[in-house]
Amino acid sequence: MPTTKEDYAHHISQQFNNELEEVRTHFLEMGGLVEKQVADAMHALLDADSVLASSVQENDRKINAMETRVDEELVRILARRQPAASDLRMIIAIGKAITDLERIGDEAAKIARYAQALCEEGESPRGYVETRHIGNQVRVMIHDTLDAFARLDVDQALKVMQADVEIDLEYKTATRALMTYMMEDPRYISRVINVLWVLRGLERIGDHARNIAEQLIYLVKGADVRHVSYEQVEQKIHG
């Protein structure tokens, strides 16, 4: 129970810190679930596990509910307090990052849907080597970007931004390979197209992970690094 004015102010700011910390925890919890969803969607695809594919699609509702809750918490904080600059940046960064996190969840659910379609068609289609490889890289990106958020680590965020550049290149190579498969054997067109959609989804997930990393840089450095090349961002931060 606060007894002096200073105590009271301290008490208020302590409570505010707790609220902010709680939002960040919920954000990271949601991140953990999203990470698991992407991993499960890839397993469902590569192991032709249609039960797992269904459960990924089912779990997407949990992620949506988590997004709604975090957003509500952020609005409540904004309505009741007038946060100082750095706290405000935390609120804004989480508010933006949560949207990308939810959309990664959507992509995972879509990949699970393609996995199910591919299970039904039977027989392992071509393009799985590329898909497995890019899938692994994207999972590392999600992990690293959440880790950067947990530790407020700008260098980790930079690493994620760089990884996205690599993934975009590998995605291009992989789609060209798939196109060749289709031309070689048109009977597999509809299967290969499903694999192509999975790859596209993974590439999008990479973009979203990069967006989250950009928000972490904004949060820590106060710099808006969207629409800026990797080299310029590094310059801005270390230069």
The distance of closest approach from Cβ of residue 89 to a copy of itself in the complex, given in angstroms and rounded to an integer, is 8
Residue type, 92: I
Q: How many whole angstroms separate alpha carbon 50 and alpha carbon 236?
A: 46
Q: Which stretch binds a copy of itself (CB under 8 A): 8-16, 69-77, 122-130, 152-160?
A: 69-77
Q: How many whole angstroms separate alpha carbon 199 and alpha carbon 133?
A: 10
Q: How many whole angstroms separate alpha carbon 72 and alpha carbon 78?
A: 10
- How long is the chain? 239
If the CB atoms of residues 87 and 234 are measured against a copy of itself, the closer one turns out to be 87
The distance of closest approach from Cβ of residue 4 to a copy of itself in the complex, given in angstroms and rounded to an integer, is 25
**Contact code string over 97-126 relative to a copy of itself, x by CB under 8 A:** --x---------------------------
How is residue 187 annotated by DSSP? G
Spell out the residues 6+ positions from residue 231 whose beta carbon is closer than 8 angstroms to its own.
none
Residue type, 64: N
The distance of closest approach from Cβ of residue 129 to a copy of itself in the complex, given in angstroms and rounded to an integer, is 20
If the CB atoms of residues 76 and 151 are measured against a copy of itself, the closer one turns out to be 76
**Contact code string over 151-190 relative to a copy of itself, x by CB under 8 A:** ----------------------------x--xx--x--xx
